[in-house]
Amino acid sequence: MNTPARRGACPALSAPMQTGDGLLARLNPVAGGFSPNALIGLCESAQHHGSGIVEVTARGSVQVRGLTERSAPLLAADVDALGIAVRTGVPVETAPLAGLDPDEIADPRPLADAIRAALTEAGLAARLGPKVSVIVDGGGSIDLSGIIADVRLAAVAQNGEALWHLAAGGDAATASPLGLLTESDACAATLSILGQVAALGREARARDLADTRRINATAPLSGLPAISPTRGEKGSWPASFAFETPKGGEAGHPSRLSPLVGEMAGRPERGSGGTHQEGKAVAVFPLGDGTFALGIALPFGSMPAKILIALAQAARNLGAAEIRPAPPRALLFPRLSADACRTLQKIAAGLGFVTHPADPRLSITACPGLPACASGRIATRDIAADLAASAPDLLDGSLTLHVSGCAKGCAHPGAAALTLAGSGDGPALAVKGTAGSPPAAIVPHDEARHGLRRIASLVRRTRRRQETAAACLARLGVTNIATAFAQE
């Protein structure tokens, strides 16, 4: 077995990463999903060889926690014995309903397969860092816009054909747009950009291509050598290739949910801010063959293996042939009847899964914390569950609460509206910061959940008509929030 991966790398099945609760292994099935029996077997292996905690990440990967140097190879052997083929190399990600979703502008799988093959042929995987990735978004019901990637390709309907909008270095809102390409040109462009990233070294990402934002989207691709800050690695695209900018109104594509969503999930607005990004996979999706896919989420992205086994057994009994991990932190059960969706949704709710898109737990990101993680200083998920139950009006979908066991902030590296992090001095609150930000207030260890409840009470008392919780917190300001949190 390989040496455990350093923190910050991506923990592959063959190179697990050291965390505070042991080694962590991550896997993505080549097939896109697991058979119920394969998922049951994986969970049983997680119980035998790890802590018994299984996670689905924000990007839709499956993680097994609590492995050791001795047990990690045994988990890998079990995965092989179960016939689960695991992806390796540069992640080229598509939506979990790719090829099944009638709302897709284009099936992204052929382009994704072409990019994977081109990367392998070019030998780029060994030259790129472990976090470099590609998104190929066919424009279906499962939203991939919030996922960061080095190269983003999104299907756009224009003049009766599907083209691919290319952007580099970010999510859909922050990536640098480069224009529209045909499918074959999109593959070549992706390979060229990643080749230029590789030329900068294994620590480089597409955002490091300093001149990306100054590219003229209408220039011929052969005129884009400035994408490389080294000026030494020019693109190889023919001069006949050219970017086109999307025409107004044609870049978007509305998603379509089943009428069952209104019947089974209420289809509510989470405050006036609308549905939280985390809830978009929690729905019933109609498929092109007349069946449906049920989407549910794992609370805080995590579940004991024994609970996942019970869910997989129920799904198998209802005729499910496949279970697909999905972003963010969700599972999809495709090709079910409407009745099977209803039944499985009720079973999942009874097991503790998130089955409603307005569930307040979807507004919280929480790492394992105490007692699972040796680095944790607070019981993160107990605190998170307590606040979700006691203050759902604060968690209205307009903000993210990050509860971190320590200052590392593994579960949510970026800033959040509110971050509670364990520290040696006690639970520390950051406003619009990260787990490592200077705290606005610190309370004794037994006061963390009470402090968050006091913030929720302050928002409840001062919130204006039609105001989201996030807008209310912004208006109150750091001082008022910190005072409420620390008040005895």
Q: Which domains does the chain have, with CATH numbers?
A: 17-81 (3.30.70.2500), 104-227 (no CATH), 266-354 (3.90.480.10), 362-486 (3.30.413.10)
Burial 291-315 (b: 16+ CB within 10 A, else e): bbbbbbbbbbbbbbbebbbbbbebb
pLDDT at site 413: 87
8 Å CB contact between 13 and 19: no
User: Contact, 306 vs 122, CB < 8 A?
Assistant: no
> Which are the contacts of 377, defined by CB distance < 8 A and separation ≥ 6?
369, 370, 405, 406, 422, 423, 424, 427, 445
pLDDT (0 to 100) of residue 211: 52
Whether 330 and 280 have beta carbons less than 8 Å apart is answered as no
Residues composing the chain? 488
Phi, psi torsion values for 109, nearest 5 degrees:
-65, -40
For residue 111, count CB atoms less than 10 angstroms from its CB and return exposed for 0-12, middle for 13-18, buried for 19 or more: buried
For the chain, residues with pLDDT lower than 70 are 1-10, 210-279, 488
* Closest-CA residue to 170 (of 367, 414, 7): 414
Nearest to 197 by CA among 237, 239, 169, 223: 169
Chain centroid offset of residue 475 CA: 29
